[in-house]
Amino acid sequence: MTDLDELRNLGPKSRQWLAAIGVHTRADLEALGAVEAYYQLKQLGFNVSLNLVYAIEAALLGVPWNQLPPPVRERLRREVAALSHPAPAAQTFLVDGHLDLAYNALKFGRDPRRPAREAREREADNPSPNGVATVSIPDLLAGGVGLAVASVFVMPAASPFPFVYHEPTTYAGPDDAHGKGLAQLDYYHELADRDERVRLVVDRAGLDEVLASHEAGEQPLLGLVPGMEGAAPIRTPEELDLWVGRGLRAIGPAWDDTPYAAGAWRDQGGLTAEGLVLLEQMAERGLLLDLTHLSELASLEALERYEGPIVASHCNARALVDSPRQLSDRQIRLLAERDGLMGTVLYNPFLRQGHLKGEPKERVTLDNVMAHIDHVCQLLGSATHVGIGSDFDGGFGAGDIPFELDTAADLPLLAEALRARGYGTEDVAGIMGGNWLRLLRRALT
């Protein structure tokens, strides 16, 4: 008898299987690991399943197999799946149009420099209200993401939503919003200063530097374009130069209602008089206007009046998910006429009609993502006005993104799904990043 016999969850048959691959003690098993043991047994023709992996991991952790923490189970499932279906090669260059990196760092203490699995391990016993972490710089770079629009996002304390959290990301008034918004913008500067993999992209020269880093033989960089989600931190249009001087390059006037515009969540008003002044100031500086979260009326007014570049960074098609938070066909057509694009959100309730947050993620797949992309492409007769705006970790986590996805490292699976759907090489490259690059090159000077 060895100490392997003392491990709970491992019956005689499991121990017999493990002996066939030279595992006779607990130390042997710890050195090999559950997934590698599974792989070697499969190679020898044994009819083993994922349950054996769970049993081994639970045995090593000293817990019943059915009490294995969900994040651990999910990690093991993904690792086993990767053995049979290796991840496709990352795209040469992928752009994610919306990530709340500063919000996650300052509110939830998540360090984007460390892999998402470390946040999961740290939060396993005390789950975050923001869900299971999916985003980090290592995961983004592993998925071929070279550029992301990084948000400055603060939430009104009076918001009606149950997921409103308190300090340091909610605000009680203009000055509070201003200070907390600047803190997030400062965070991006500090992140770029501390991490040699990160660059703030505020002009075309910075964009070109990041692009060049993704050429063969170079060390790839992650470029971050600072963008504001909800313009409450800008106390008056006259202080816009302060924000531009600090690197802000995109603004969405509303998340909830702001002094500048009505948000999609409430009474469906339009732009305010002050909002029109803000748009004039933005156009003079060539800033990217983001229609996301605007009411339909406000977005239509902006499309008619704004003279600069326009995007809807993280929206889906209302024709498939009927909500004012999504874009109507009319909005999509007008956005395309302005040579803008819609960044597809990878949040399950925004992908499948009637799906609720927290429902089994197996109900939403990449087919649902493709349906929204297909709708835009068929509506416009072109694939040049759609991209990706994942909004990963934007109030939800791994349990509320499509079934095939676990972290940002899996984003290349979207390209694989597009190819399987019949999209050609040029269109796939455009949707995965090229369309965003074309738009940002116009917006950055």
pLDDT tens track for 258-305 = 999 999 987 789 999 999 999 999 999 999 999 999 999 999 999 999
Residue 1's pLDDT is: 46
> 61: pLDDT confidence band, cut at 50, 70 and 90?
confident
**β-strand 94-99 against 222-229: which pairing, if any?**
unpaired
Residue partners of 50: CB distance under 8 A and separation at least 6: 38, 76, 77, 80
Distance set, CA 378 to CA 17, 352, 384, 385 (Å):
53, 19, 11, 11
**What one-character DSSP code corresponds to residue 251?**
E
Q: Which residue has the higher pLDDT, 439 or 90?
A: 439
Q: Which residue has the higher pLDDT, 37 or 337?
A: 337
Mean pLDDT along residues 103-125: 94
Residue 26's pLDDT is: 85
Residue 71's pLDDT is: 79
- At 411, which amino acid appears? L
pLDDT at 253 over 80: yes
pLDDT at 230 over 80: yes
C-alpha span between 398 and 409 (Å, rounded): 12
Residue 315, number of CB atoms within 10 A of its CB: 30
Distance set, CA 108 to CA 101, 136, 137, 325 (Å):
10, 13, 16, 25
pLDDT at 84 over 60: no
pLDDT tens for residues 361-397? Answer: 999 999 999 999 999 999 999 999 999 999 999 999 9
Nearest to 384 by CA among 419, 435, 338, 314: 435
Residue 169's pLDDT is: 73
> 352: pLDDT confidence band, cut at 50, 70 and 90?
very high
Low-confidence winner among 52-61, 114-123, 351-360, 371-380 (lowest mean pLDDT): 52-61
Distance set, CA 104 to CA 32, 81, 112, 159, 247 (Å):
34, 28, 9, 19, 20
C-alpha span between 116 and 139 (Å, rounded): 7
Kindly state the tokens that stand for 132: 């299971």
Residue 48's pLDDT is: 76
pLDDT at 164 over 80: no
- The helix/strand/coil state of 247 is coil
Average pLDDT value for the chain:
91
pLDDT at 91 over 60: no
Mean pLDDT along residues 207-233: 94
pLDDT tens for residues 298-315? Answer: 999 999 999 999 999 999
C-alpha span between 9 and 6 (Å, rounded): 9
**Helix H segments across 113-260?**
116-123, 137-142, 174-194, 204-213, 240-245
C-alpha span between 417 and 85 (Å, rounded): 14
